[in-house]
Amino acid sequence: MTPKERLLTVLKCGIPDRVPISTYEMFPYHRRFEYKHPSYDPLLQALVGRSDSMVMWDPPSNETVFCSSYQVDMDVETFRNANQTITKKTLHTPKGDLTQTTKVIDNIKTTWQTEHWCKSLEDVEKVLSIPYEPLTYNVSECVNVRNTLKDQGIIMSSPSDPLWLTADLMEFGDYTVWAMTESNRFEKVVKIMHERNMENLRRQLDANTVELYRICGPEYATPPYLPKELFQRFVVPYVTEMVDLIHEKGGLVRFHSHGKINQVLDMICSTGADGIDPCEGPPDGDIPLEDVKKRCKGKMCVFGNIQLKLLENGSPEDVDQAIRTCMDQAKEGGGFVIMPTASPINIPLSDKTYGNYMQFIESALKYGMYE
């Protein structure tokens, strides 16, 4: 089987020739920002022909803020503070100004949001005062991605769900208080974001449909952050509509949720998604991989669940044992992809992490064959 055939087989809960091997956001085709650093070259070269790539690609759009392409005045100030780059944005809305601050630490390729747009419900009204204009997408680059990838994997885009689009307006603690104490007001904003999100998703799919869509954001509503009743209310109906639309256009869906999913796993299955990741085991999550597989069998493909911290800090022997345990728990019957729960973001890549990734590949090939 080619990697593309292998991945499409398991996404339909079938049995391939071997368990597909994913290194999550790291792949040798169409490299992402941090993996262009030379320290990653040996590992990425080693993945060629030995891994099954889900190349993450999202078409650029003309979005300004909050899912809209409406042109709104914004002041941007960037400055350095020790080893950090700080960016402060001031947005001039029809109902008053909003500010957001982010920081990026040198040699760590991620962005921290240190000040969110909304500090109160009045700020949320400022967000909603900005007119909505649907997005347009530039999908021209997809041809180059496909020509580079060929049959070595599939393309995956990562749309957000409306719960995340709403929750991320505020600092996380403030969001949970808002959702719990002002549930009707919170859901009103979720519905507005959902309308925007669905129109934008429809336009994206009409312009170009790729093989897989990873819906991000539901983890913001998993227990203990919110009770399962609010997960059912704020996540399930909206993600289900997203799944239905993606299926209608010929794509497949992967439901992304870190953390504790035990109480909401059956709800996740009910959305009709084709896969679930990263299925973290205890203590990071609250359900063993074997139980995820049993409850999802025939409904969703299971992706997971090697912790990145093991690959960064463990021994090769620890990695080998973890891979073997995953295979014992989830390989049988197909519908399983061995995958870390995250990807490294440090530059340069450490020798230890490199060695453990090589062990990950060797062990996955060793224990992942189907007869």
> pLDDT tens digits, residue range 123-177?
999 999 999 999 999 999 999 999 999 999 999 999 999 999 999 999 999 999 9
With cut-offs at 50, 70 and 90, classify the pLDDT of residue 110. Answer: confident
Number of H helices, E strands in the chain: 14, 11
Rounded CA-CA distance 120/33 in Å is: 34
Segment 24-31 shows an average pLDDT of: 86
CA-CA-CA-CA torsion sign (119, 108, 164, 277): negative
Length of the chain: 371
Instruction: Calculate the alpha carbon distances from 229 to 2, 160, 178, 180 in Å.
Output: 42, 21, 15, 11
Segment 266-280 shows an average pLDDT of: 98
Q: What is the DSSP letter of 26?
A: -
With cut-offs at 50, 70 and 90, classify the pLDDT of residue 283. Answer: very high
pLDDT of residue 359: 98
Rounded CA-CA distance 162/334 in Å is: 32
Rounded CA-CA distance 154/77 in Å is: 38
**Percentage of the chain lying above the pLDDT 90 cut:** 95
Domain edges within the chain: 3-70+131-367, 72-120
CA-nearest of 263, 277, 170 to 224 is: 263
Model confidence over 72-86: pLDDT tens digits?
999 999 999 999 999
Residue 30 has pLDDT above 80, yes or no: no
The pairing of beta strand 153-157 with beta strand 212-215: parallel
Rounded CA-CA distance 132/336 in Å is: 40
Segment 243-261 shows an average pLDDT of: 98
**What is the dotted CATH code of the domain comprising 3-70+131-367?**
3.20.20.210
Residue 71 has pLDDT above 80, yes or no: yes
Rounded CA-CA distance 283/260 in Å is: 9
State the CB neighbour count (10 A cutoff) for residue 280: 23
CA-CA-CA-CA torsion sign (66, 68, 70, 71): positive
One-letter amino acid at 293 equals: K
Residue 100 has pLDDT above 90, yes or no: yes
3-state secondary structure of 258: coil
With cut-offs at 50, 70 and 90, classify the pLDDT of residue 13. Answer: very high
pLDDT of residue 32: 75
Question: What average pLDDT is seen over the chain?
Answer: 96
Segment 362-366 shows an average pLDDT of: 98
The pairing of beta strand 96-105 with beta strand 112-115: antiparallel
Residue 48: CA count within 13 A, CB half-sphere: 11
